[in-house]
Copies of this chain bind each other. A is one copy, B any other.
């Protein structure tokens, strides 16, 4: 089955918002084996919506429209579907009643505009919206399937999951060949180096396919294969993962949703160990990422954000001489912070960051981007210095990723390079 996606909204064309809905819908469709060959974005303009829908109807089996179902005059998706299918819009009595009840509960009466949301092209089925007022649409027309879902992400996702995907799966029947994927997450390696090492596999168009993707502090490899049955897919994914692990396994730290903060949690839990964090340049980001994981209170005792030097001294016990002699951004200070926070909180591991996030504050000797990350534990201490390019935001993300990875390796007994 070939599908085409149409995102409706002038705010998208103006670049005011990033179209995360389109990526979400594409992913869900890929998972059930629906091929998306084209995606379009069109503004709140009836002629252009209609032209886009006509084009899509001429070459695809299914069209999914997102957005333009609201109550204002700008919301024209219903009109567009009515136009291309030649089915006039009429009020759906149950939808009108539902809407009136919704407003009545708030002591309000729906306006003429609001009631537009209860209208649909003749023969269309309304799709329940459990998170908002705009129902979705489903029309079967000339053997094609047309869906319209609301633009707010929570409403769209819920409606995709509960209504659209089940209808599509039913129509796919025996052709249902979902795509099964696995994401391998890597650290300590850049995208270009990784791609060079496994270029034969990536450009060999193997099954599973392999797609690399880079974000600050991390590269991922996404393996994907189409199969009628899950065990068949799993066998292929397992084989490819094994081959990749043989060649670049030392860089792989997690699989699928196992982000670095999750991997750190798994490592700490395995060893029954606790962690405390002392942060200067990351300003709380390392602690925040650790506590993004549900259940992290089992191993996370807490942290100190020591932005001012006096706090490094007074709360973490970094000696005044160390700060005076080596400066706040130094191996010596990082080590004293790690030891200090470990002692203060009585944790098994103390993790510390100190650096220059920029854009100001750099010197010739210690340019913007300089950072020291230190760990203290029962075995002793380690510290690594690095220089990261990038914006303040990228710097904080890269340093936090690198610090968490150092911690993960230390906890697991892997040598920190």
Q: For the complex formed by this chain, how many copies does it contain in all?
A: 2
Is A89 part of the contact surface with B, judged by Cβ < 8 Å? no
Does the CB pair B48–A38 fall under 8 Å?
yes
Give the residue among A52, A291, A294, A346 with the most B Cβ atoms within 10 A: A291
* A286 to B360 CA separation, bound complex (whole angstroms): 22
Query: Which residue of the partner chain, among B30, B277, B311, contacts A305 with CB atoms under 8 Å?
Result: B277
Is A15 part of the contact surface with B, judged by Cβ < 8 Å? yes
Is A217 part of the contact surface with B, judged by Cβ < 8 Å? no
Which of A20-28, A119-127, A162-170, A244-252 lies at the binding interface? A20-28
Which of A136-144, A296-304, A318-326 lies at the binding interface? A296-304
Query: Which residue of the partner chain, among B23, B294, B306, contacts A17 with CB atoms under 8 Å?
Result: B23
Shortest beta-carbon distance, A118 to chain B, in Å?
18
Is A39 part of the contact surface with B, judged by Cβ < 8 Å? yes
Does the CB pair B307–A297 fall under 8 Å?
yes
Main secondary structure of the interface of A (DSSP, over half): mixed
Does the CB pair A15–B19 fall under 8 Å?
no
Contacts of A203 in B (CB 8 A): 72-73
Is A177 part of the contact surface with B, judged by Cβ < 8 Å? no
Does the CB pair A307–B291 fall under 8 Å?
yes
Contacts of A290 in B (CB 8 A): 283-284
Is A13 part of the contact surface with B, judged by Cβ < 8 Å? yes
* A168 to B308 CA separation, bound complex (whole angstroms): 48
Contacts of A25 in B (CB 8 A): 15
Does the CB pair B302–A305 fall under 8 Å?
yes
Contacts of A292 in B (CB 8 A): 283, 392-393, 396
Q: Which residue of B lies closest to A297 (CB)?
A: B307
Give the residue among A22, A73, A283, A297 with the most B Cβ atoms within 10 A: A283
A38-B48, A38-B52, A213-B17 given; A288·B295 CB < 8 A: no
Query: Which residue of the partner chain, among B14, B28, B30, B285, contacts A27 with CB atoms under 8 Å?
Result: B14
Is A358 part of the contact surface with B, judged by Cβ < 8 Å? yes
Contacts of A22 in B (CB 8 A): 15, 19, 41
Shortest beta-carbon distance, A155 to chain B, in Å?
12
* A357 to B291 CA separation, bound complex (whole angstroms): 10
Shortest beta-carbon distance, A16 to chain B, in Å?
6
21 contacts between A and B (CB under 8 A): A12-B26, A12-B39, A13-B37, A13-B38, A14-B26, A16-B23, A17-B213, A18-B20, A40-B41, A279-B287, A283-B287, A283-B290, A283-B291, A284-B287, A284-B288, A287-B288, A288-B288, A301-B308, A303-B304, A308-B345, A314-B345
Using A15-B25, A292-B392 as known contacts, list a sample of 10 further A-B pairs with CB atoms less than 8 Å apart, ordered by residue number in A. Answer: A13-B37, A14-B26, A38-B40, A38-B42, A39-B41, A72-B203, A284-B285, A284-B290, A297-B307, A303-B307
